[in-house]
Amino acid sequence: MTAMLKTLLHRLNTRTAIVGVIGLGYVGLPLVRAFSNGNLKCIGFDVDPAKVAKLMAGRSYIKSIPASLIRKLVKSQHFEATTDYSRTAECDALVICVPTPLDKKHEPDMTYVEQTARAIAKHLRGSDPALRGGGSQLIVLESTTYPGTTREIVLPILESTGLKAGKDFLLAYSPERENPGSKDFETATIPKVVGGRDAASLKAAVALYRCAVKKVIPVASLEIAEAAKILENCYRCINIAFINEFKIILDKMGIDVWQVIEAAKTKPFGFQPFYPGPGLGGHCIPIDPFYLSWKAKQYGVAAQFIELAGKVNVSMPEYVISKLAAAIAIRGSRILILGLAYKKDVDDLRESPSIVLIERLKARGAKVDYNDPHIPATHKQRERDLQMTSVPITPAALKKYDAVVIATDHSAYDYPMIVRNARVVVDTRNATGHVKKGREKIIKA
């Protein structure tokens, strides 16, 4: 065991290590909570000074992370947030949780990963014995990406400093598996897959995550860990695309797909239910299949199955609009979108199909409002800025709209009241499945 690894393991085992989490969003902030609960001090890094200011003032911008927890961590000095990336040199382990979006050509945009790697490289400690404990720094990428990213992008940037992986620093990959809104799992209880560049890196990364997560699963390489996350998300993407297409077919036949799913899932083996919707949302499932497809082309392989699934899911907002257009004249109409978040009972609007619906309906001449109890106002995203606020939802307000589109089936909604007072209800989530009165107003989409 090298002195570098021995020092790092000692600090992790004695909880004297400092962990840096880069990117304080829906992945990074829950990770801070998990490490802090494991009695490790955390420094959070973000390029957004507004986020940093909120956190240091004891406020949270993510529903699943209560402000009381942030205040407690800041007050106890177990956590602090900063925009000063020179402070990465203070950290024994650095975990990268930055976005990996698609560009306009639907190809991987590695800008954030590359910029973060360069920021770390500027202050990489190395194994200089004059530095804190002889360096012993571990770098872990958590951002979802294609197999090869850690070795092909992050490693060369870090080694451009003249420092060498395995000798001067350690490098690993561990895919994030956050499930916003889940009541059954949180960061600490979701098994953690970890792959290292070498045996020492793997050992260090396993020790790091064992401080915060109940079960850590080491795998044989960086690429296996990267590919595991892609497999998980492609699996969901393909099955959701299939059930979306199945819904369209059954709709033409006059068969309720939701009742079919309920019947099919009574089989105790060989079947897992997936549910249709107005499109895919969240950071991973709408994006990751395109990452794999892009990488496959470099090896001369056409990922036809995966690309087709992506096309089906991307087309679903247009299908919803076609169902709406069959019921009302869209131009000049007033339409209310219920639910801006991409999934039920969360405040996350990343890649939400509701946003696509709003943009396309406005482009067709409709006046569109939204209501979401979890998102009182929209915020600027990388490519979109709706600049909208949630409108009140009351019986009187509902009667003013030509149609109400249920895009996200939040638990807070009173669906019988909505159906009773709306003129037309386009239901993309079967949220009104239990509603008895007014079913003639409901259009399943």
CA distances from 408 to 196, 280, 313, 355 (A): 39, 11, 16, 11
Cα separation of 43 and 64, whole Å? 20
Return the bridge partners of 405, or none.
Answer: 337, 426
Any alpha helices (H) in 268-349, and if so which ranges?
288-298, 304-314, 316-325
Cα separation of 190 and 179, whole Å? 9
Return the bridge partners of 338, or none.
Answer: 371, 406
List CB contacts of 267: < 8 A, sequence separation 6 or more: none
Contact 402, 365 (CB under 8 A): no
Single-letter amino acid code for the residue at 100: T
Cα separation of 444 and 425, whole Å? 8
Q: Which tokens sit at 289?
A: 């299949």
The strand pair at 192-196 and 169-173 is best described as: antiparallel
Cα separation of 175 and 184, whole Å? 19
Single-letter amino acid code for the residue at 338: L
Catalytic residue among 42, 97, 211, 284: 284
Q: Which tokens sit at 66?
A: 């209560």
Q: Assign 3-class secondary structure to 238-275.
A: HHHHHHHHHHHHHHHCCCCHHHHHHHHCCCCCCCCCCC
Query: For this structure, is 234 an active site residue?
Result: no
Contact 114, 157 (CB under 8 A): yes
List CB contacts of 355: < 8 A, sequence separation 6 or more: 340, 349, 384, 386
Residues with active-site annotation? 284
